[in-house]
Amino acid sequence: MTKVPELFGSKVFNDQVMHERLPGTTYKALKKTIENGEPLDISVANVVANAMKDWAVEQGCTHFTHWFQPMTGVTAEKHDSFIQPCGDGVIMEFSGKELIKGEPDASSFPSGGIRATFEARGYTTWDPTSPAFVKDGSLYIPTAFCSYTGEVLDKKTPLLRSMERLSAEAVKILHLLGKTDVTRVATTVGPEQEYFLVDKDLYEQRVDLKLTGRTLFGAKAPKGQELEDHYFGSIKTRVAAYMKDLDEELWKLGILAKTKHNEVAPSQHELAPIFSTSNIATDHNELTMEVMQKVAERHNLVCLLHEKPFKGVNGSGKHNNWSITTNTGENLLSPGKHPESNTQFLLFLAAIVKAVDEYQDLLRITVASAGNDHRLGANEAPPAIISMYLGDDLDALVQSIINGGSYESHGKERMHTGVDVLADFKKDNSDRNRTSPFAFTGNKFEFRALGSSLNIACPNYMLNTMVADELAQFYEALKDAEDLEAAAKALIRETLTAHRRIIFNGDNYSDEWVAEAERRGLLNLKSLPEAMQHFMTEKNISLFVRNNIISEEELRARCEIELETYAKQISIEAMTMVDMAKKDILPAVTAYIRELTETALAKKALSESISVKAELDLINALTDKQEQFAALTAELQDEIAAASLIADNQEAATAYREKVFAKMEELRAVGDSIEEETAAEFWPYPSYTDLLFGV
């Protein structure tokens, strides 16, 4: 077995490979681009391209592909071979131009109407800050994607821009505070990824899982997560083998897979990497999701990344742990031993509190999707109301700043285990609040409302942009202050006082919080169509425009794409339900009723005195339900037809939510109660018991 340090990054054109293979001047020029964002010269690109190609060919590659993240929600790739005709044969070649620029036909990617199909040209441009890697015989080059006329068509570009914006504004503040050695800051992200594993043979028998990623029917299994015996439980052999394989594949790709464990629901698991810069974390999370699915196949498993594959047990999310680090290695969200006198920390904290309050709508919108709507607001994930948790210690400090009272840091208390052989240790300053959507966890914030399948670029570029914007305002307010310390203190107090409503340390699942949040004037946007109505406001448009992240037109396009995707997803789900109802479920009930009827008739033929009450009761009950089910199926079809005629994307999405989805819920309720009454051998699909406990 290869040792992990040798395995790690073996498929990545990383710093070590570059150092070994590039001439010194080229290596230095490339490093300047990567570290300081300096433009790259074509002559440098030519040398890099050639070295990349040689390295990739040695690894067995014949092709290269620009790898990008269009608005589809999945990554895209188009492979070209390295071959160049030479005499009678070919040689393997790769130029700087090919490395820097690609030209995929952009017409079939969603553009939200900013680009007509005849303006099909799109460009991909190499992102040297995310390392190239080899996979399945190709050299993968992470790229950004834009249209011929320069419109941003992907998720990476706004993320890169937002990181630069935040860096510029944070550096200005730090210089003001005397930290002139800092030249750049980077945002860092550690995304915890939840997923389900189901047996592939069972999966193949569920058309709903195959087409929509979630079960559209399915009566509850007698056992779910109520015993709380799965969370952190011992990992089953087959799952452990999968996880081992997965870790190795991720390590080869330079992904810092660190933690793995069972999650709350049966068959649910989690993988967490060690954090990296937002850009690399995004690329790595996209790769992680892909590799999770591919490795599952080798184990005859299917990895489900949908936010809610099963009704009645927890769905899957992604916790976006986020912080800001300077190039001198300082974590700007670390409160230090004395946060009460740490002006720098308090300024950054205040900027984040202000950002989350002012842009709570954007934070909610950025995690909205048809899948995630099943989680937010239900009693498992954070609620649809965005608020912040600071922990007891920091909250006490914030309160004392607002009220002008005194504050005493508790420092880290020692934890006494009371057992001699167990070592005592220092307690964390804050306990965890698992219910908060945006929680301070020691030296970072954990944004917990993301759905498991989401590309983390969007929440992160929004978060970075809003915080950059607040820091810019802080800089303006402080730059000419005579007494900087006093001015900063006043600004911190004023900001925390104005935005204290966004801080909530209690139970986010309680009904009292819903009422309290309403009193505080916080938004409670329950679904994507509702949330999207808050997107294109003057406040939000000008945030992105004044920070040069994306234009108003591009933002509008993104809004249209979200709404359209939502409508399409609900439509596919609804049509799949109709299909299942008509082709499988109704025929199954009919067959079972016939079996019962024949049994009753046979019993009566044998002897008039034999009771057929059990059969008759069941026949009556099932016939009633069958009629309801058939009627609801027809009604659902009517709703789908009506919604499909609506041209306006916002109106259509609303109709899909309020009419189509509502009808799907009604149909499912009857369908599930039929499943409960029907003999297993007649039921056309594997049950929840099979699916959730079958691995």
Q: Which helix (H) or strand (E) holds 152?
A: none
CA–CA separation, 22 and 20 (whole Å): 6
- Strand-pair category, 133-135 with 76-81: unpaired
Q: Are 161 and 549 in contact (CB under 8 A)?
A: yes
CA–CA separation, 12 and 8 (whole Å): 9
CA–CA separation, 568 and 571 (whole Å): 5
Asked if residue 327 binds ligand ADP (CB under 6 A), the reply is: no
Q: Are 202 and 290 in contact (CB under 8 A)?
A: no
- Show the DSSP H helices in 367-483 as ranges: 392-403, 457-478
Instruction: Please list every residue from 273 through 292 that binds ligand ADP, using CB under 6 A.
Output: 273-275
The binder of 287, among Mg ion, ligand ADP, none, by C-beta within 5 to 8 A per type, is none
If you ran DSSP here, which 8-state letter would residue 320 be given?
E
Q: Which two tokens stand for residue 121?
A: 């040209």
Binding residue for ligand ADP, selected from 107, 129, 277, 331, defined by CB under 6 A: 331
* Nearest position to ligand ADP, beta carbon: 190
Site string for Mg ion, 312-351 (x = CB under 5 A): -------x--------------------------------
The binder of 443, among Mg ion, ligand ADP, none, by C-beta within 5 to 8 A per type, is ligand ADP
Site string for Mg ion, 170-209 (x = CB under 5 A): ----------------------x-----------------
Nearer to ligand ADP, 428 or 584 (CB): 428
Site string for ligand ADP, 392-431 (x = CB under 6 A): ----------------------------------------
Nearer to ligand ADP, 275 or 513 (CB): 275
The binder of 104, among ligand ADP, Mg ion, none, by C-beta within 5 to 8 A per type, is none
Nearest to 155 by CA among 278, 39, 317, 37: 278
Query: Helix 484-498 crosses helix 392-403 at what angle (to 10 degrees)?
Result: 110
Nearest to 196 by CA among 610, 603, 618, 688: 688
User: Least distance in Å: CB of 443 to ligand ADP?
Assistant: 6
User: Applying CB under 6 A, which part among 223-231, 269-277, 460-468, 685-693 lies near ligand ADP?
Assistant: 269-277
Instruction: Please list every residue from 209 through 268 that binds ligand ADP, using CB under 6 A.
Output: 259
User: Least distance in Å: CB of 595 to ligand ADP?
Assistant: 50
Nearer to ligand ADP, 213 or 459 (CB): 459
Q: Are 22 and 44 in contact (CB under 8 A)?
A: no
Look up tokens 């995707």; give the residue: 565
Q: Which two tokens stand for residue 550?
A: 């994306």
Look up tokens 């490093």; give the residue: 31
Nearer to ligand ADP, 4 or 616 (CB): 4
Number of residues that bind ligand ADP (CB under 6 A): 17
Nearer to Mg ion, 192 or 361 (CB): 192
Instruction: Please list every residue from 152 through 211 that binds ligand ADP, using CB under 6 A.
Output: 188-190, 192
User: Least distance in Å: CB of 446 to Mg ion?
Assistant: 5
Burial of 256 (C-beta count, 10 Å sphere; 0-12/13-18/19+): middle
Instruction: Please list every residue from 217 through 236 that binds Mg ion, using CB under 5 A.
Output: none
- Show the DSSP H helices in 68-146 as ranges: 96-100
Binding stretches for ligand ADP (CB under 6 A): 188-190, 192, 259, 272-275, 319, 321-323, 331, 443-444, 446
